[in-house]
Structure 1
Amino acid sequence: MEYSVQMTFVNEIGDKVSLTLGNIRPDVTQAEVRALMDAIIAENIFFSPGGDYKTKYSAQFVQKQVTKWDMV
C-alpha cells in the first residue's frame, strides 16, 4: 500500500496551490499534517507564481494499492 498527503494552500492572490508528499507513513495524524502545513507557511519554503502561501485550505490522506501482474 502506498500513502501520500495532498495539501492545499491559498496564496497571496487567493489562488489555491496544491502540494503532494509521497511515501508517508500510514499512521500519520491530522495534527502532524496541520503542523507541517503551518511550518511550510511560516518558513515560506515553496515558490508560487501567485505569491507566498498564506493560509491552509485543505488536506487529505490518500491510500493507493497497486497490484502488478506478470504478463511474460
Structure 2
Amino acid sequence: MAKTLEMLFTNEDGKSATVSIESPTEPVDSAAVSAAMDTILAANVFITTGGDLVSKRGARVVERNVLPVEII
C-alpha cells in the first residue's frame, strides 16, 4: 500500500495546486506539515500555470492500493 502526503495550496488564480511527498513518515505530524507548507510559501519556489502559490488549502494522506489482475 503506497501512501502519499499531499499538501494543497491555492495559487494566484484561486485554483488548487498540490505538492506530493511519497512514503511520508508516520504518524504524520500536522504541525510539521503546516510549518513545511509555510516554508514553501515563504520561499516561493513553485510556480504554477495559475501563478505563484499564495495560501495553504489543506493537507491529506492518500493511500493507494493496487491489485494486479492476472490475465490468462
TM-score (normalised: structure 1): 0.78
- Unaligned runs of at least 5 residues, structure 1: none
| CA distance in structure 1 between the aligned counterparts of 2:39 and 2:45, rounded to whole angstroms | 9
Deviation at 1:13?
1.3
Tell me the amino acid that sits aligned with residue 32 of structure 2.
E
Q: Equivalents in 1 of 2:26, 2:66: separation in Å? A: 16
Aligned residue-pair number = 71
1:3 touches 1:25 (CA, 8 Å); kept in 2? Answer: no
SS at the partner of 1:25?
Answer: coil
Question: C-alpha distance in 2, partners of 1:67/1:26?
Answer: 23
* Change in 2 beyond 3 A, CA 1:67/1:13: closer
The reply on whether 1:41 has 2:31 as its aligned counterpart is no
The aligned residue for residue 5 of structure 2 is 5
In percent, how many aligned pairs have the same letter? 34
How is 1:1-72 mapped onto 2 (pairs within 5 angstroms)? 1-64=1-64
Output the amino acid matched with 1:45.
V
Counterpart secondary structure, 1:52? strand
Give the letter for the 1:34 counterpart. Answer: S
Helix, strand or coil at the partner of 2:51 = coil
TM-score, scaled relative to structure 2: 0.78
State the alpha-carbon separation in 2 of the partners of residues 31 and 65 from structure 1.
27
Q: Distance in 1 between matches of 2:16 and 2:65?
A: 28
Can you give the 5+ residue segments of structure 2 that lack an aligned partner in the other structure? Answer: none
